[in-house]
Copies of this chain bind each other. A is one copy, B any other.
Amino acid sequence: MKLSTRGRYSTRFMIELALYYNKGPILLKEICKSQQISLKYLSQLVIPLKIAGLIKTSRGAHGGYFLARPPEEIKLSEIITAVEGSLNPVECIDNPEICERSDNCVTKAIWAEVGKKCLETLSFYTLKKMIELQKEMSGK
């Protein structure tokens, strides 16, 4: 039940983009430095984020990455599921065919409830909320 670096790094990346929202594209290279993530690794994580429609890019000189939508419209749940897939703790919820007992399985129902709770929690937080929270915390 642990989050992998894919989810963790992507979240930090997206927060960084949110901080610079509407200030032009940012280079991956810069985010790598400030967040101490390998450039090559981050450039892999960025692909599913783009496919999910969370970020946009502009190429060429003065290019870079930026949010596809304002920070208040991007949920943490979208970021995590984009790079890690479903939040359900077991495969059979999303792919019932992989387990024959799937139909009347108690544990499956419970795991599904857990997955739903996770999704709800992460859906509550948008990038904007997270930045505001951050300010509150460091302001203290």
Contact = CB atoms under 8 A, between A and B. Distances in A.
B84 A1 contact: yes
A64 interface: no
A76 B106 contact: no
Q: How many copies does the complex hold?
A: 2
A62 to B, nearest CB: 30
Interface residues of A, number: 37
A106 B89 contact: no
Contact of A107 (B11, B105, B113): B11
Interface of A: 1-3, 7-8, 11-12, 15, 76, 80, 84, 87, 89-91, 104-107, 109-111, 113-114, 117-118, 120-122, 125, 130-131, 133-134, 137-138, 140
